[in-house]
Amino acid sequence: MRRERSLTDRQKKWIAGTGVFLFLVLSALVCWFAGRPLIRFVREPERFQAWVDAQGVRAPLLFVGMVVLQIVVAIIPGEPLEIVAGYAFGALEGTLWCLLGAFAGRLAVFLLVRRFGTRAIEVFFPLDKLQSLRFLQNERRLTFWVFFLFFLPGTPKDLLCYIVGITKLPLRSWLVISAVAPIPSIITSTIGGDALGMGNYAFAALVFGITIVISSLGLLAYRAICRARERSET
């Protein structure tokens, strides 16, 4: 029986690079043909509501696909999509579809980065972004820090989603974190969107105002944590 030749390091790098390049091209095409309409829906919630009504029973599945797209492509903002989910589906159902889509999208990103490493991150983020999150390479209390950063409002979760893939976080831990940690930030957006859909503009403004304040504080806390952890690691 003829023995198969193993791939050389150069061939492996070429295959990995080609895979990332094709993924980048696919992401660009998806952004152009699906991302632009998605952003138009976000800007015009009434139009999105009409689209949901027209899709009937397919609407939740298509919306979940939109959320997966937003997570994987990363350059599409996520919070406005959560707001229109609350507007079109209501707070409870909108939260459910957002959580399902976010879970599937983050699992896809995790597996993608585990397969291609930092090459997958370079598609969307410069590698110098990794420096501020270098402490996540430390296995000690890794699960706690990943959960905390995804639970904390205002953190750059799209970036974090890609970074987690190159850590030693177990897949089972990531599945739990992806399912549970985003709940507070998603539900506040969907509640605000639901209030807009019901015409309760004062309550919607209150929800969004509180969310902005909490997210701003969360972002400040995130930056302080990164600086502190960076100093402790050096």
Q: Name which residue leads in pLDDT, 108 or 39.
A: 108
DSSP alpha helices (H): ranges in the chain? 9-30, 36-43, 45-55, 59-73, 79-89, 91-116, 118-122, 142-151, 157-164, 171-180, 183-197, 201-233
End-to-end CA distance of the chain: 54
Q: What is the pLDDT of residues 29-61, one digit of tens each?
A: 555 444 455 555 556 677 777 877 887 888 888
The pTM score is 0.75
**CA–CA separation, 207 vs 10, rounded Å?**
54
**CA–CA separation, 219 vs 216, rounded Å?**
5
What would the DSSP string read from start to end of 64-100?
A: HHHHHHHHHH-SS-SHHHHHHHHHHH-HHHHHHHHHH
**CA–CA separation, 26 vs 7, rounded Å?**
26
The arithmetic mean of pLDDT across residues 25-32, rounded, is 52
Judged by average pLDDT, the poorest of 2-16, 55-69, 90-104, 218-232 is 2-16
Read off the pLDDT band of 115 (50, 70, 90).
confident
